[in-house]
Amino acid sequence: MKCEIVKDLLPLYMDKLTSRESNLEIEAHLQKCRSCRDYYQEMQGDLPQMLPKAQVDETAFIKKVRKRGRRIKCLVLGIIFFLCLLLAGSILVLRPSTVSSSEVELLYGREGDRVYAQMKESKNRNIQFTGSVKSIKDDQGNIIGEEMYLKTLTSFYTPRQGGGCSWEGTVDENHQILRWIFEFKDKIITIENGELILEEEKGKSEERN
C-alpha cells in the first residue's frame, strides 16, 4: 500500500470506519514507514504500540523475571544482613575478656602432702584460662617443682549457671614446690604449696617486670 493511499485512509482508520483487511495493511505500513507514522502521530498523538504477540509475550516474561530477580536479591540481602547482626552479637556476647579478682571466689589450702586451689564462677560466667607451665629448678639445675601461670578469661551470658575449676597436686621430697599464679584484670595472686604468698596490684607488678 502506497503512502498516499495510507494517508488518505488514516482519517477513516482513526474513526474505525475501515475494514479489518485495510486496518491490517495500514498498521503494517505504519510499522515500516516513518513518514506515515509521523503523519499519523501529528493527527492523533503517540502511535499505539503494535508489537507481534510473540514479542509481547517475551517482553512480559522478561519483566516478570526481572521482578522476581529483584525480590530474590532483596531476600538474599536481608538474610546476609541478619546473619551479620547475629555474628556481631555472638562476638560481643562470647568474646573472652579478663576477669577481676572480685568476680570469682578463690579457695586454696593444704591437707597433708596434698595441696589444692579452687576457683568458683559466678552465674552466667564461663571461666576460661590461658597460660603456661614450667619446671622449678634448684641451683644445681634439678627439678624440684612446677609453676603454672594462668590468665583468667570469661565469656559473658553463657547458659551455664556458675561452676568452677580446681587444681591439686602432691608435695614431697622430690616435688617440693607447687606454685599457681593467677592473673586477674586487677591483680596477680600467687599460691605456693596451698598458701597465699603474694597478692599485688596488676599495675605494680607490670612496673616491676
pLDDT digits (tens, 9 = 90+) for 46-90: 444 554 555 545 566 666 767 777 788 888 888 888 888 777 666
The x, y and z cell numbers of residue 201, run together, are: 596490684
Confidence at residue 204, expressed as pLDDT on a 0 to 100 scale = 63
DSSP 80: H
Is pLDDT of 190 > 90? yes
Contact 131, 147 (CB under 8 A): no
Dihedral sign computed on CA atoms, order 197, 203, 206, 208:
negative
Contact 100, 185 (CB under 8 A): yes
How far, in Å, are 104, 133, 200, 201, 203 from residue 208 at the CA level? 26, 22, 11, 11, 9
Confidence at residue 128, expressed as pLDDT on a 0 to 100 scale = 77
Q: Which residues pair with 131 in a beta bridge?
A: 150
Dihedral sign computed on CA atoms, order 13, 15, 18, 20:
positive
Confidence at residue 47, expressed as pLDDT on a 0 to 100 scale = 44
Is pLDDT of 197 > 90? yes
509481547: which residue's cell? Answer: 56
The x, y and z cell numbers of residue 92, run together, are: 560481643
CA 48 to CA 194: how far, in whole Å?
Answer: 97
